[in-house]
Structure 1
Amino acid sequence: MYTHCSFTQTELVLPQIPASVYAAVNTIMRAGGGVSSDELTAAEIARLADVGRAAVSNWRKRHADFPQPVGGPANSPTFDREEVERWLTANGRAIPDGSTTRNTTVPRDGDVLARLLRSLLPEGCAILDPGSGTTELPHQRLGSAGAVMCIAPHEAPPAGAPVGEFGPPGRNDAALAWVQICLAYTTEGGTAVVAVPFSAAVRTSGRRIRVELLRAGVLRQVVGLPELPGGPWQIWVLTRPSARPSYQVRMVDLSDHPLAELPSSAADWDAVYADELRTRIVPSIELLDEDVLLVPSGHVVGETLDVRPQLEAARASYTDLVTRLARQAPQPAETEVASSWPLVTVVELMRTGALAISRGKAEAGDVLVRAAHGEFTPVVASETTDDTSGATVLRCQPDVLDSYFLAGFLRSEINRRQAAGTSGGTFRLDVKRARVPRMPLSEQRRYGDAFRELMAFDAAATAVAHAAQEVTWTAVQGLTNGTFAPPLQGK
């Protein structure tokens, strides 16, 4: 796509790139903002469900109700996001917290990267986007635009792409091929802004091409970004020199920057460039060592922070939590003979009206059953929440069934085993088949109180672990930045 900076008028169509990769960019370019694509590739479904691509392929073969493709070529079809999410939820395949699902505030990679790329482009120029949706590359090797933007996909470029200027990339280095394509379409003196996965900056197989980019003086800037939901990314800014190249690279470290505060305008970038704690101009020769790693955080020296108050607070919090945890340690009463209760399934409890499956929000007292990622931990909601993604929500009739009793016995070994052992190593629980003891409400509440205490203990133990990590992290920072020194011997 070849448009003016208004991102509204199409003038020239350029090469095919899988539609799923660039849908976020193209949507933003057409509308001047907005949301990312409603379609997913198989690889994106795998990331969404936290499984391997082979698992997605198996689902398509074994489950007739798996969503049908809605677009893309036969070898890389795309699927409707809503249909995929409904299928994952209906089949007990939880979507991980922090994933890129609809109705979440976590931005998708494409949203963040497209806005960053656009903010780095010169104003008042023509912009070329190689992801236009056609099937052919131009036969002539042009300098087609003063500015090129691209989110480098993982797929190799189409046949005939101009990727050889700095050498053919390795089979796992598709991003370095797209970098060369973007530069090939850049006019003399023009700018190419390319989002690449972090691996492009460090993978050994890409060292030779990184060397040639530096020696040619075309790589002018590397921006390290904070972790995005789909993984680590960088932005490379390249130019095709119109005069003698400047053999320097501006290294910008935004790896610890909040996503919501990333630069969005030329003025924002100017402020980042002026910040010595974020930016450093590095001579190319300094980067041409044995590994040629393009990692801004290794070249930008951050501010030395006095972490003494932070460590003092962390130690106090840890000590308080450990003291309280010791008092919460469970000590159930012992029995001489193991109990043998009559069991009832969840579906039988549903038939009697003792509980129901809720399709909407979870209310306080509801039991949320998630089974994924090697864990099976039903919990009782403490308040109303919309965060029920990937969970079965069980609503108890309180004068018949105690919520903590239900949640506790759903965690039993027999129910955990029922959830495990499915293909692909994932958990797939049919919660209706889970079994709990049949006992009077008064006895349920006795067990429910015990389970409530155990769950509170588990939460407190988790808080202690987090506090211990905070103490460790803060002490390490102090020792490494000179705020602290090791204790004297004998102290």
Structure 2
Amino acid sequence: MSTSPQVTAAEIARIAGVGRAAVSNWRRRFDDFPRPVGGSDASPTFALADVEGWLRAQGKIAEVAPEERLWRLIAAGGDVADRLADIGEYLLAGAPAPVGPHADRLRAAGDLAATRGAPAVFADLYARFAESPASPGGATPATTVALIAELAGAGREKPVTVLDPATTHGDLLLGFVRSARTLRGQTEAPALARLIRVRLALHPDAAPDTDVAVAEGDGLRADAWPAARFAAVVGNPPFNDRNWGHDELAYDQRWEYGLPPRTESELAWVQHALGHAEAGGRVVLLMPPAVAARGSGRRIRAELLRRGALRAVFGLPAGAAPPFGVALHLWILEQPTGERMPSHVLFAELDDLANPVTADTALRAWRDFRADPAGLAEIPGRHRAVPLIELLDDNVDLTPAHNLPAQTDLNVAERVQDTRARLLALLARLPHLVPAVPAAEEGAGTWRSVALADLARAGAVTLYRSASRAGRVGHETPPGPTVPMLTTTDLAAAVPPSARLSAAEADEAQHPRIHAGDVIVPTLLGGDEHGWASAVRVAGSAERDAVLGPNLHLLRPDPAALDPWFLAGFLTDPAHARRAGYGSSIVRVDVRRIEIPLLPPDRQRAYGETFRALRTFVTDLRGAAALGEDLGRGLLEGLTAGLLRPPG
């Protein structure tokens, strides 16, 4: 029996970037295709090493980077969290050469760590795990982690003992690895407990003497640290969990502010966290917005206010933390010391955590509020210190937006006039941008077409595909030299490359460099087919020398054989993408299957110029629509605020 990790036909398709039907076709057509080594007749498995060797010999995949190769070994073995934890513990221990069934993975990790360092190798593997189907959920963005760490320590010494009672990835604990001497966490899955402990211990900024422990189990029902008290407690506890233990925990000593109703699991976690905070200790928790105003939690919210435990509620933008589709709240609480009864609660709205000014403004408001709660200068729509007496009404509504005065743009008249002038100028230009296209002669639309795969074999176009993910990608600049990277988000928003990639990871095999005239195509077909049409792009000066981001195809046509705008125009048709798509919930597009008409160069250029003019018209038309919406909002805002008046 083979000792190599095994992969299914679906996994082979993902490795090669094709559909499952292509793998079935290879098995029928090629006698030398690797034989199954396991599985069943309906779902056979194949040795990964044999499959990669065959694909490489056939020219169907390029040589993969060592990091990608190691991740495939891990992902192909099943129980990804356990396998990754094994590797982390092996790297952490610095053990000798391994033996056993998983020795190939451990040796590969050890070899890679010898050149890149164990912390960098494990960080890259964990980032891949967090984005994989094996992950228990999304990772918390670094900006949110940093904000929570700063809020937990603002106005006092950095906390040296920290607990996350319901951690998923250990992200929030990472914010304290530089300063804390004791880090504690709890998670329900045993494999995740091992994995998070290793992640914290292998972090490059972790002090060697930091005491790290992550326990398994449900923090409410089986508290791993019942007698421990911490300087800071942080977390993103489970939401909307009606099976949190209401009946068996009804007489628990933690319910100092009232027994949480069955529908208020979040308030159970709030009191659990407060119970673990030392006197004056701070609690910073991510909460769903409904907790701030739900009627069933009104009494507990009122008691938190009366006792001085709840100090601030910040509204965060959607995407700040998982679940990313919800605009969460950030509750800041302190274990009362009995020395002074707080008189106000701080409310703030943070609209863009990617902007450092937003976080700095919030931190400054929090520090100023702690120094003088009643004297904090109010900024409409941003932050306000609200007296307790205003909050202790029949609703006890702690929603930031409901406790902040509306922000009015005093320059709305100037903005409206500027938007109106731009819109009228664009509308005057639009009629001249509409391409004048006559009807074709009868039968002229019948042409012979050929698949892009055949054009690539003939040398008319070269096909490139980026890595499935990038190690350090985002709008935050990675450390060291970087290069601009074009992403799917940039294509959808019709903007130049906005992400940055570490130059060390910008190898041509994983992230091809973009040249002017290249055609960029997404690999995924979303539910909105118009989105596909606008996402196909011909690279110009704005994209030159950027690298290709994840989930994108790059087509480099030979100008002598294939006009770029002609190619892009026919790729833009969503019908072509549908025919080349595969998958059910997530539809991937195999661009090699898309067919392009065979036309002489002069007719290609004529089509290309028309497609280019059409793209300009559509782009400007959408710009006019956006300006029209902005103008409508500005007029309504100005009229209702008394800053504009009706004509006459």
TM-score for both structures, normalised by structure 1: 0.71
Residue of structure 2 in register with 1:436 after alignment: 596
Match of 1:276 among 378, 384, 389: 378
CA distance in 1, matches of 2:553, 2:253: 51
Match of 2:607 among 437, 440, 447: 447
Structure 1 pair 314–414 and aligned structure 2 pair: CA distance change class (3 A) = closer
Please tell me whether residue 196 in structure 1 is matched to residue 287 in structure 2.
Answer: yes
Residue of structure 2 in register with 1:242 after alignment: 337
1:326: how far off? 2.0
Structure 1 pair 227–459 and aligned structure 2 pair: CA distance change class (3 A) = same
Q: Indicate the larger mover: 244-253 or 160-169.
A: 160-169
Deviations along 1:195-228, one digit per CA (max 9) or x if unpaired, are 3343432455654543443344421211223444
CA distance in 2, matches of 1:83, 1:337: 56
1:433: how far off? 0.7
Which structure has more RCO (C-alpha within 8 Å, separation ≥ 6)? Answer: 1
Residue of structure 1 in register with 2:216 after alignment: 135
SS state at 1:152 partner: coil
CA distance in 2, matches of 1:423, 1:397: 34
2:345/2:388 contact within 8 Å kept: yes
Deviations along 1:99-144, one digit per CA (max 9) or x if unpaired, are x99xxxx954653444443443631654332352212655785471
Aligned-residue CA RMSD in angstroms? 3.9
* Aligned residues with identical type, % of pairs: 30
CA distance in 1, matches of 2:408, 2:161: 37
SS state at 1:134 partner: strand
1:379: how far off? 2.0
Deviations along 1:59-86, one digit per CA (max 9) or x if unpaired, are xxx9988664532799xxxx84336769
Unaligned runs of at least 5 residues, structure 2: 1-42, 46-71, 85-124, 166-184, 186-213, 466-511
Please tell me whether residue 222 in structure 1 is matched to residue 319 in structure 2.
Answer: no
Please tell me whether residue 340 in structure 1 is matched to residue 446 in structure 2.
Answer: yes
Unaligned runs of at least 5 residues, structure 1: 1-61, 89-99
1:121/1:191 contact within 8 Å kept: no
Residue of structure 2 in register with 1:482 after alignment: 642
1:330/1:454 contact within 8 Å kept: yes
Residue of structure 2 in register with 1:251 after alignment: 347
Please tell me whether residue 402 in structure 1 is matched to residue 563 in structure 2.
Answer: yes
For this pair of structures, how many residues does the alignment match? 408
Residue of structure 2 in register with 1:28 after alignment: none
2:150/2:363 contact within 8 Å kept: no
SS state at 2:282 partner: strand
SS state at 1:177 partner: helix
Q: What amino acid is aligned across from residue 390 of structure 1 in structure 2?
A: N
Residue of structure 1 in register with 2:175 after alignment: none
Residue of structure 2 in register with 1:167 after alignment: 259
Equivalent residues in 2 for 1:8-157 (5 A)?
68-71=78-81, 80-82=126-128, 107-108=141-142, 110-120=144-154, 122-123=156-157, 126-131=160-165, 132=185, 133-135=214-216, 138=223, 141-142=226-227, 144-154=229-239
2:451/2:592 contact within 8 Å kept: yes
CA distance in 1, matches of 2:451, 2:516: 23
Residue of structure 1 in register with 2:552 after alignment: 391
CA distance in 2, matches of 1:205, 1:113: 30
SS state at 2:588 partner: coil
TM-score for both structures, normalised by structure 2: 0.55
Structure 1 pair 174–255 and aligned structure 2 pair: CA distance change class (3 A) = farther
SS state at 1:263 partner: helix
CA distance in 2, matches of 1:250, 1:413: 50
1:248/1:283 contact within 8 Å kept: yes
CA distance in 2, matches of 1:87, 1:130: 24
1:163: how far off? 5.9
SS state at 1:410 partner: helix
Residue of structure 2 in register with 1:183 after alignment: 274
Match of 1:366 among 518, 536, 557: 518
Q: What amino acid is aligned across from residue 330 of structure 2 in structure 1?
A: I
Q: What amino acid is aligned across from residue 122 of structure 1 in structure 2?
A: R
1:267: how far off? 5.4
Q: Indicate the larger mover: 386-395 or 448-457.
A: 386-395
Deviations along 1:387-435, one digit per CA (max 9) or x if unpaired, are 53311111101100111111111233541331567412x3321111111
Q: What amino acid is aligned across from residue 127 of structure 2 in structure 1?
A: R
Deviations along 1:40-96, one digit per CA (max 9) or x if unpaired, are xxxxxxxxxxxxxxxxxxxxxx9988664532799xxxx8433676999xxxxxxxx
Structure 1 pair 352–162 and aligned structure 2 pair: CA distance change class (3 A) = farther
Residue of structure 2 in register with 1:457 after alignment: 617
1:185: how far off? 0.8
CA distance in 1, matches of 2:302, 2:441: 73
Q: Indicate the larger mover: 143-152 or 455-464.
A: 143-152
Q: What amino acid is aligned across from residue 185 of structure 1 in structure 2?
A: H
Q: What amino acid is aligned across from residue 397 of structure 1 in structure 2?
A: D
Structure 1 pair 195–361 and aligned structure 2 pair: CA distance change class (3 A) = same
SS state at 2:331 partner: strand
1:119/1:266 contact within 8 Å kept: no
1:249/1:281 contact within 8 Å kept: yes
2:349/2:401 contact within 8 Å kept: yes
1:317: how far off? 0.9
Residue of structure 2 in register with 1:297 after alignment: 401
Residue of structure 2 in register with 1:97 after alignment: none
Structure 1 pair 87–239 and aligned structure 2 pair: CA distance change class (3 A) = closer
1:163/1:178 contact within 8 Å kept: no
CA distance in 2, matches of 1:268, 1:306: 25
Residue of structure 1 in register with 2:414 after alignment: 309
Q: Indicate the larger mover: 352-361 or 407-416.
A: 407-416
SS state at 1:428 partner: strand
Q: What amino acid is aligned across from residue 365 of structure 1 in structure 2?
A: G
Structure 1 pair 232–414 and aligned structure 2 pair: CA distance change class (3 A) = closer
SS state at 1:129 partner: strand
CA distance in 1, matches of 2:555, 2:131: 20
Residue of structure 1 in register with 2:88 after alignment: none
Residue of structure 2 in register with 1:418 after alignment: 579
SS state at 1:298 partner: helix
Please tell me whether residue 326 in structure 1 is matched to residue 431 in structure 2.
Answer: yes
Deviations along 1:259-317, one digit per CA (max 9) or x if unpaired, are 31112897564357733114323233433445443222332334652311111111111
Residue of structure 2 in register with 1:233 after alignment: 328
Please tell me whether residue 356 in structure 1 is matched to residue 451 in structure 2.
Answer: no
Q: What amino acid is aligned across from residue 350 of structure 2 in structure 1?
A: L
SS state at 2:336 partner: coil
CA distance in 1, matches of 2:127, 2:224: 36
1:201/1:294 contact within 8 Å kept: yes
Deviations along 1:156-206, one digit per CA (max 9) or x if unpaired, are 6987797644333545x5543322221111233433222334343245565
